[in-house]
Amino acid sequence: MIFKELKCYHKCNDPGARSQNSGAGMRRRPTINNAHGFTLMEILIAMLIFSIVVSMLYLSYTGTVRNMEEVESQSDIYGMARIALERIMDDLESAYVSPWSGNLKSQADNIEVSGFIGGDTEINGRSADTLRFPSRAHLVFSGADEHKVVTEITYYVTENEEGGGFTLYRSDTPQLEERPEEGAGGLVLCDSVYSINLTYYDENGEVYDNWDSTKVEFKGRLPVMVSIELWFINRSDPESHLRFKTGVSLPMARGKG
C-alpha cells in the first residue's frame, strides 16, 4: 500500500510526465482564426440595398413636399375665393337704384349718378364680366371718409401677363368724387382668376347675361338675384380649374316692377 502511494506520487511529480501530458493537451486544443473581412460581393450587395433605401426615402420626401405645396396653393385659392365672394355679396346686398339713375346729373347736387350696369364681356375667349352700381357699402379707411356713405362700386378684371390669369379689382368711389377711368383705379381683390361670370335674374325668374338699369328694358330696376361664378387657375393641375359659385338676393329689388 505504501509502495503504490509512492509510485503515484513519483509519477505526478515527474517533470517529464507533466511535459508529455501538457504537450498532448496542447496538440488536442483547436486553433481558432478570428481574422475575417467582407468579400467584394458582400460590399456590392450592401451598397445596392443602401441605394434602394435612399431612393425610397427620397421619393417619399419629394412626394410629401409636393403634396404640401399643392395643399398650400389650394388653401390660398380657397381663401381668396371666400374673401372675394363675401365682398361682392356684401356690396350687392347694399345696392340700390338712384332716383337719377341713367348717368344723369341730379338737379339738387349737380352730381353724376350711375345706374346698375352689369356687362357681359370676354378676354381671350374667357368670361371677364364687369359690374358697376351705386351702393351704401362704402369701405372706410380713414376718419375723413366717415360721412361718405353713398358710393359707386365697380368690379373689373385685367389680364395678368405673367401667370396667364386675371386680376380682379374692386373700385369704391364716393359719388361726391370724380369717377376713375373705366378699367382703372381700385384695389386688387384677388388674382389667379381664370374667369368670372355674372348672371342676373328678374322678378319673373328670367335669366340675363347683362343688366343696365339706364336702358328702357330695365329702366330704374335692380335684378332680384345675381349669380356669381369664379374660376381660379389650379397651379398643380393647369387643366383642372377650381370653380366657386354663389348667389345673392338684392333686398332693394323687392317690390319693384
pTM: 0.66
218 touches 242 (CB < 8 A): no
Residue 105: its pLDDT value, please?
Answer: 46
Tell me which amino acid residue 63 is: G
Residue 218: its pLDDT value, please?
Answer: 86
Place of cell 379707411: 141
Distances 33 to 41, 43, 113, 230 between C-alpha atoms, Å:
22, 22, 105, 79
What is the torsion angle, in degrees rounded to the nearest 10, for the CA atoms of residue 185, residue 189, residue 195 and residue 201?
-90
145 touches 166 (CB < 8 A): no
Residue 24: its pLDDT value, please?
Answer: 47
Helix ranges (DSSP H) in the chain? 2-12, 15-28, 40-93
List Cβ neighbours of 214 (8 Å cut-off, separation of 6 or more).
101, 102, 103, 114, 115, 117
Give the pLDDT means over successive 10-residue stretches in the chain (257 positions). 46 52 50 64 87 85 71 77 92 78 44 77 92 82 56 90 84 76 80 93 93 87 94 82 92 64
Which of these, 199, 250, 195, 206, lies nearest to 228 by C-alpha position? 199
Enter the DSSP assignment of 162.
Answer: T
Enter the DSSP assignment of 32.
Answer: -
Kindly list the domain boundaries of the chain, sorted by start residue. Answer: 69-253
Distances 54 to 49, 50, 61, 254 between C-alpha atoms, Å:
9, 6, 10, 67
> Cα(249)–Cα(226) distance, rounded to whole angstroms?
7
User: Nearest 5°: phi and psi at 133?
Assistant: -165, 155
